[in-house]
Structures are given as structure tokens and as C-alpha cells.
Amino acid sequence: MATNIEQPVGKTLPRLNAREEFTGLFLPSDGHDDASVRVVAEIIALGLERNAWELDNLGYTVLAPHQVGAGDLADRLREKLLDFAEGDLGFRPDLENGDQIKAEVTAIGRGHFMPAVMFKDALFEHALMTRSVLALMTYLLGENCILSSNSAMLKVRAPEQLELHTDMVGQPAPFPPYAQVANATWALTDYSPDNGAIKFVPGSHKLARHPSVGEALDDSSAITITAPAGSVIIWNGNTWHGAAPRNNPGGRLSLIFLFCRWYLMPQMMHRQWISEEALARNDDRFTVLMGKRSPYSGLDSDGRPVDFTLGQASQFA
Ligand SMILES: O=C(O)CCC(=O)C(=O)O
């Protein structure tokens, strides 16, 4: 039954009994839904329990090429990106020995950065839709997550290391205990400390904050990744990471997919840029990843009804 309460300004407003007047949508979530069952079942079906455990406990994991299960896709991605680099630079970079690439400064080290490569060739859609990678990304960001950006980086020899940071750009601490953004980077050349590999501070995602300036420069507790070409490195955006300087000649080539939860603004407006042909040749999950099925996509929506539970959803929804 509604009662009245005194307001400071002297007016009275009806006070609603939430449990009587609302359906329960805005009551605290118990964090259980069908999505959590589906997401965990997919991890088990693919034998990725150890990787999921690492994401929970370390904040990152590396899918070995046999776990990625994409055949020769990494080789084809590497050649395609070399084609693009050749178009940009006027020569084909030598990834083994070459030192001819100008070391431009980029946000993630020095080298040649290639944004939005997915719009230039359908091959990158295959990489995006790789089942094992999506299974872990879904574990981190839920079934309705979207692609935030797609790009490639050819990192070259340079003395600087990339200082530790999170990928929670613009988001103040404390971060939620679950991931808001996450990264899946395809290593298309071998990763090792001298090749300028990425490094992580294990467990740092649990701190739920950015590193301070001093912490960003102190990598004494960071682990540098060693992984063969064809691996995919996946991390929770809360995890502190940076990269070793590349000491070797040649280049470290990577394909970078950044994802975010559906309610965040992606770094690239895939939903406006993706072609009808790309949507038609891929399945429904691709449409969701492009941001065409969020309740906020408005005029950019593909017109299909959006099925979202507004409350009570788990972090896997
Ligand atoms: O690829 C790397 O070495 C670092 C990438 C990175 O820091 C990022 O994508 O946020």
C-alpha cells in the first residue's frame, strides 16, 4: 500500500512499495541465468577449462595454435597483413632480418600500425569468428559483447619498453570485479622477450584499478610471454600489461581484436561501417559483435528484436 513521506521542500510525494509496484527487474541480481550454463558448457566442450582458470586467476591466457584450431589461418593473415604493409610502405617488410621500417611512435610501441584491417578483407572475419577465441571472450564479456576495435601492429626494433597499463581507458577505479573490456591478440610471428613480446602482471586484474605512475614503470613482477606464431593471447582489460623492447631485427606482427560489453561505446563504430555483404556471409553472432543488436543501436540496428533481460542477468549474458 502506498504511503506518503515528508520532503525537505515541504511537499509530499507518494512512496511506492517496489516489490508491489515493479516486476523485480531492478532488484539485485543473483547472477545466475541460462547464459552462464551455456558459456561454461562451451568452455568444457572445447577443453578450455585451464585457460578459463588462468583468466580467472592470472587475468590472461595463451591459446596455443592447436587450441586455436584454425589450420593455416595465421599464415594467411600474416601474408595479407604484409600485403597491406607493402601497400602502405612501398616495400614488403622482412619479418626476420629487415630493419628498414621506420619506427613510428604508436600507442602500443614503435612500428607500423594498421587500423581497421577487417574492413579490407573477409579473411579477418574468419579470425574474429574463431570458436575457441570467442568461447573465452564470451566467458569474459558475455554473449552480447561487441567488437570494440580491430587493428594490426608491426612492431620493430626500438629501445623502449611499453609501460604497464590496463585497457580500461577512461574508466575510473574501482573497476567492477568482472571484465568490461578484453583483448584477443593473434601472434602472427613468434613472441619472445627479445622479439618484444607482451608482458603481464599475474593476478593484477584483481586490484581493480590502474597502476600508479611508479607501478607502471616497475615491471619486476611482470611475466613476458613466449608463444609461437599462430597463438592467440587473451586478457582481461583490467590486467596490468606492457611489452618488452624488441631487440631483434625484423618485426613482430599481431592482429588485435579488442572487445567490450554491449553497453559500452566501442572504439570503432563497426555497426555503422560493416557492409551488408559481411553481415550476410556471417552468422548471427557476427551481427551481435558488430553492435547491430544492442538496444542502443537505434537506426544502425539490423531491425531484429533485441532479447535482453534488463535485470537479473549474469556476467555471462
Ligand atoms: O601488443 C603489445 O605488445 C601490447 C598491446 C597493448 O598493450 C594493448 O593492446 O593494450
| pLDDT tens for each residue of 239-262 | 999 999 999 999 999 999 999 999
Query: Does 210 score more than 80 pLDDT?
Result: yes
Q: Dmax of the chain from CA atoms?
A: 79
Q: With a 6 A CB cut-off, is 241 part of the ligand 1 pocket?
A: yes
Ligand 1 centre and the CA of 243: distance in Å? 7
Q: With a 6 A CB cut-off, is 161 part of the ligand 1 pocket?
A: no
Q: For residues 3 and 208, what is the distance between their CA atoms, to the nearest angstrom?
A: 41
Per-residue confidence at 10, pLDDT binned at 50, 70, 90?
very low
* Percent with pLDDT over 90 in the chain: 78
Q: With a 6 A CB cut-off, is 201 part of the ligand 1 pocket?
A: no
Compare 109 and 228 and report the one with higher pLDDT: 228
Phi, psi of 260 (to 5 degrees): -145, 165
The pLDDT of residue 314 is: 84
> Of 142, 143, 152, whose CA–CA distance to 188 is shortest?
152
Provide the 10 A C-beta neighbour count for residue 39: 21
Pocket test for ligand 1, best of 198, 234, 258 (most atoms within 8 A of CB): 198
Q: For residues 243 and 197, what is the distance between their CA atoms, to the nearest angstrom?
A: 6
Measured CA distances, 147 to 182, 246, 282, 288 (Å): 10, 28, 15, 9
CA 73, 271, 301: angle at the middle one, nearest 5?
A: 130
Ligand 1 centre and the CA of 158: distance in Å? 15
Q: With a 6 A CB cut-off, is 164 part of the ligand 1 pocket?
A: no
**Could you give all domains of the chain from N- to C-terminal order, each with its CATH number?**
47-300 (2.60.120.620)
Q: What does the pLDDT average to over 86-94?
A: 95
The pLDDT of residue 1 is: 36
Query: Does 39 score more than 50 pLDDT?
Result: yes
Burial of 127 (0-12, 13-18, 19+ CB in 10 A): buried
Tell the residue nearest (CA) to atom 10 of ligand 1: 167
Provide the 10 A C-beta neighbour count for residue 198: 26
The pLDDT of residue 32 is: 66
The pLDDT of residue 31 is: 60
Q: pLDDT by residue (tens digit) across 166-208?
A: 999 999 999 999 999 999 999 999 999 999 999 999 999 999 9
Stretch among 12-16, 45-49, 179-183 having the lowest mean pLDDT: 12-16
Phi, psi of 133 (to 5 degrees): -70, -45
Q: What is the pTM of this model?
A: 0.90
Tell the residue nearest (CA) to atom 2 of ligand 1: 198
Ligand 1 centre and the CA of 163: distance in Å? 10
Q: What does the pLDDT average to over 128-138?
A: 98
> Of 244, 265, 48, 268, whose CA–CA distance to 137 is shortest?
48
Q: Which residue has the cell 557476427?
A: 286
Q: For residues 162 and 5, what is the distance between their CA atoms, to the nearest angstrom?
A: 57
The pLDDT of residue 7 is: 43
Ligand 1 centre and the CA of 69: distance in Å? 23
Q: For residues 85 and 237, what is the distance between their CA atoms, to the nearest angstrom?
A: 28
The pLDDT of residue 16 is: 43
Ligand 1 centre and the CA of 108: distance in Å? 5
> Do 183 and 239 form a contact (C-beta atoms < 8 A)?
no
C-alpha grid cell, residue 133 = 577465441
Q: pLDDT by residue (tens digit) across 227-236?
A: 999 999 999 9
Tell the residue nearest (CA) to atom 6 of ligand 1: 108
Please give the number of the atom of ligand 1 that sits closest to the Cα of 256: 9
Pocket test for ligand 1, best of 256, 259, 268 (most atoms within 8 A of CB): 256
Q: What does the pLDDT average to over 141-147?
A: 96
> Do 111 and 223 form a contact (C-beta atoms < 8 A)?
no
The pLDDT of residue 22 is: 41
Q: With a 6 A CB cut-off, is 179 part of the ligand 1 pocket?
A: no
Q: What is the mean pLDDT of the chain?
A: 90
Q: DSSP code of 246?
A: B
Q: With a 6 A CB cut-off, is 158 part of the ligand 1 pocket?
A: no
The pLDDT of residue 12 is: 55
The pLDDT of residue 27 is: 45
